[in-house]
Amino acid sequence: MIAPTGIEILVGRHRLVRNTLGTLGLSLLENMARWATLLQVTRVDDERFSQGTVMTTTSKTQELLEHERRFWTAMKEKDARAAARMTDDRCIVVGAQGVSAVDSETMAKLTAEGEWELEAFTVDDATAQVRFIHDDVAIVAYKVSERVVVDGAPLDLDANDSSVWVRRGGEWVCAMHTESIAGDPYGRDRRA
């Protein structure tokens, strides 16, 4: 039997549970830890949980954002192998160019031979949203600023991107990626 003094569960900035607890069985605490993970708990005020029973949303979120940045870095460095390794088979890609599905081999070719250069990118952590659908499926969305060279001319742009990451064989791979150029949702800001 474990006798914690109390538990406060916060989801984002919202208090979900705050309670002073009496004696609880270990199985109940373990179930609370599982629920806390599913609810994307950001903080649990009990030192037994903070010692690794629950992987906090913050660390899981950072892990996924880091995978997103690695993919961007692979594009910037034209690292075809890294891009291929992070691409799921039949990864759906959506953007102004349309909708397509690419496998890892095609992604490698597009990365290495693309007629563009990504000079710089910045993922805006303040706008980043990560939602875990399951332990092995997550949606990542964020604003990104890019500096690209297309047809020999530099171009700065802001976009809103999202990716669906799936963990296969212990590794996260991108199953879907979208990019929308930031601006008026009806395109009025792009009319001549």
Contact 182, 143 (CB under 8 A): yes
pLDDT reported for residue 57: 59
- Rounded mean pLDDT of the chain? 79
Residue 174 CA to its chain's centroid (Å): 10
When pLDDT is averaged across residues 52-63 and rounded to a whole number, the result is 66
Q: How confident is the model at residue 192 (pLDDT cuts 50, 70, 90)?
A: low
When pLDDT is averaged across residues 44-57 and rounded to a whole number, the result is 42
pLDDT reported for residue 21: 41
- Token pair 């949702």 in the structure block, residue: 185
Q: Pick the more confident residue, 42 or 166.
A: 166
Q: Which two tokens stand for residue 16?
A: 């979900």
Q: Which two tokens stand for residue 180?
A: 């929308």
Q: Rounded to 5 degrees, what angle do the CA atoms 45, 49, 50 make?
A: 75
User: Tell me, what DSSP letter sits at residue 125?
Assistant: E
**pTM to 2 decimal places:** 0.69
Which among 52, 19, 57, 25 has a CA at the least distance from the CA of 38? 57
Summarised one tens digit per residue, pLDDT across range 83-114 is 999 999 999 999 998 999 999 999 999 999 98
Summarised one tens digit per residue, pLDDT across range 121-148 is 999 999 999 999 999 999 999 999 999 9
pLDDT reported for residue 93: 96
pLDDT reported for residue 18: 41
Summarised one tens digit per residue, pLDDT across range 6-31 is 444 444 444 444 444 444 434 444 44
Residue range(s) in the chain whose domain bears CATH number 3.10.450.50: 58-190
Res 119 pLDDT > 90: yes
User: 58-190 maps to which CATH number?
Assistant: 3.10.450.50
